[in-house]
Amino acid sequence: MSTLFHDRREAGRLLAKKLKEYAHREDVVVLGLPRGGVPVAYEVAEVLEAPLDVCIVRKLGVPGHRELAMGAIASNGVRWLNYGLIRDLQISSPAIDEVAAKELRELQRRDRTYRGDRDPWNVENRCVIVVDDGLATGASMRAAIHVIEQQHPAQIIVAVPVSPRETVRQLAQEVTQVVCLKTPEPFHAIGLWYENFAQTSDEEVCQLLHHSDLPPWPNSHHANV
C-alpha cells in the first residue's frame, strides 16, 4: 500500500510543495471545498502566501444510495449531473430536484456559517487553485469548476492529495492543470489514504478561514462561489 498521509494538514503541506510556482503571485486565490478540503487548502494558501476562500458545493446522492454521486450542486444553483448514471438507474427529474433542493438548503446554511456578512473573493482574471482532500468520482469538483468558470478566471488549477488516475485524466481535460500527489490503484475511497480522516467540523472551517494570517477578504460583490 502507498504511504498514507497523517492527516489533511500534512497532506496540504505536501501538496503546497508541488505548487510553489504559484507562490508570491498577486493574482492567485486558493479555494477549499468544505468541509474536508479547507484544512488542506489552508496549508496551501499559507505556503503560497495567497488569500483563502471557500467554494461551497454539495454532492447529489442517488436516492437510497447517498454515497453514490449522480452529480453535485453549488450555492448559486449550478448543477453538474452524471447523465449516464441517471439514465442507467432511471432516476426521474422530480427525484433529482428533490435531492437538489435539500442539498441547496445545506449549501445556504454553510454559506451563512462560513462567510457571515463577508462577500466571496472576486476571481475574475485570477489564477484559481481549487483544493479538496481527495477526489473519487470528481462530481463535487466538477460543480466547483463550473461555478468558477462563470466568473472568467485566467486559470483554474485543481490540487488534491489523492485521486483515481482516471478521475485526474478526465479533469485534466477541463482545467488548466491538475496537481495530484497520489493516484493509487485500486483506489476504493479517499479516507483509506489517511491515517486520520476524522470529519472536519464547521467550527474548524470557520477558524481556519477567520484566523488565516493572509490578506483580508475584500468587499467584493461578485458572483457566489
Whole-number Å distance between alpha carbons of 88 and 204: 39
Q: What does pLDDT average to over the chain? A: 89
pTM: 0.85
- Assign 221 a pLDDT band (cuts: 50, 70, 90): very low
What is the 8-class DSSP label of residue 21?
A: G
Whole-number Å distance between alpha carbons of 66 and 46: 34
Check residue 76 and give its pLDDT: 66
| C-alpha cell belonging to residue 96 | 433529482
Check residue 169 and give its pLDDT: 97
User: Using an 8 Å Cβ cutoff, are 22 and 157 in contact?
Assistant: yes
Highest mean pLDDT among 65-79, 100-114, 159-173, 206-220: 159-173
User: What number of other Cβ atoms are within 10 A of residue 84's Cβ?
Assistant: 9
User: Using an 8 Å Cβ cutoff, are 49 and 214 in contact?
Assistant: yes
Check residue 39 and give its pLDDT: 97
Check residue 213 and give its pLDDT: 52
Of residues 120 and 212, more confidence is placed in 120
Percentage, residues of the chain above pLDDT 70: 92
Among 217, 210, 224, residue whose Cα is nearest residue 42: 210
Dihedral (Cα; 14, 18, 23, 29), 10-degree rounding: -80
Is the pLDDT assigned to residue 224 strictly greater than 80?
Answer: no
User: Using an 8 Å Cβ cutoff, are 158 and 177 in contact?
Assistant: yes
Check residue 69 and give its pLDDT: 84
Q: What CA–CA distances, in Å, run from 156 to 28, 91, 137?
A: 10, 32, 19
Check residue 2 and give its pLDDT: 63
Is the pLDDT assigned to residue 164 strictly greater than 70?
Answer: yes
Check residue 191 and give its pLDDT: 95
Check residue 147 and give its pLDDT: 83
Burial class (CB in 10 A: 0-12, 13-18, 19+), 206: middle
**What's phi and psi for 73, nearest 5 deg?**
-135, 150
Check residue 225 and give its pLDDT: 47
- Scanning 154-221, the segments in alpha helix (DSSP H) are 165-172, 202-210
Q: What CA–CA distances, in Å, run from 85 to 82, 90, 92, 140, 158?
A: 6, 8, 12, 15, 24
- Assign 118 a pLDDT band (cuts: 50, 70, 90): confident
7-63 pLDDT, tens digit per residue, is 999 999 999 999 999 999 999 999 999 999 999 999 999 999 999 999 998 889 999
The structural domains of the chain, ordered by start, are 8-56+120-210 (3.40.50.2020)
